[in-house]
Amino acid sequence: MEALVPRVTATPAALELIAQLRQKHGPLMFFQSGGCCDGSSPMCYAAGEFNVGDEDVYLGNLDGVPFYIGADQFEYWQHTQLIIDVVNGMGGMFSLDNGTGKRFLTRSRIYTDEESAQLEGKRTHGDSLRDGQSGHPSHQAEQSQ
């Protein structure tokens, strides 16, 4: 089976900041904010500090860190690959990058026609895997029992 193009990726600078935050705070998770107070910044939390809802969409992992987006936001951005980067500045009010002098930033690119066809009808990487092998962290925990 051909590997799917990732729905979310990270630059080397973002991966470096993720490693620093993981060392300081332990396991992490991301949620792509849809606006309001922190704009549309990717928010980094200690794992379990943000309640992911049933309608939220799991996009994949960044160096083992699960990345989610709200269903409504996913509908707008489903044709783009999210590229998580880092720039100088203040992080989101509740995001762990706040106070580091750096902040996560979402860049994006539109999928090619071939990539779009490959992803058609698949919300997440887990949706594409066979035999119940979902990439969603909650499914992995269920499978290990």
pLDDT, one tens digit per residue, over 43-78 is 999 999 999 988 899 999 999 999 999 888 898 889
Sign, CA dihedral 22-26-32-35, equals: negative
Burial label for 4, CB within 10 Å (0-12, 13-18, 19+), is: middle
Determine, yes or no, domain membership for 2: no
**If you average pLDDT over residues 102-109, what whole number do you get?**
94
**If you average pLDDT over residues 106-118, what whole number do you get?**
94
Determine, yes or no, domain membership for 26: yes
Determine, yes or no, domain membership for 92: yes
Confidence of residue 29 (pLDDT cuts 50, 70, 90): very high
Residue 109 confidence (pLDDT) above 90: yes
Domains: count for the chain: 1
Determine, yes or no, domain membership for 28: yes
Domain region containing 103: 8-144
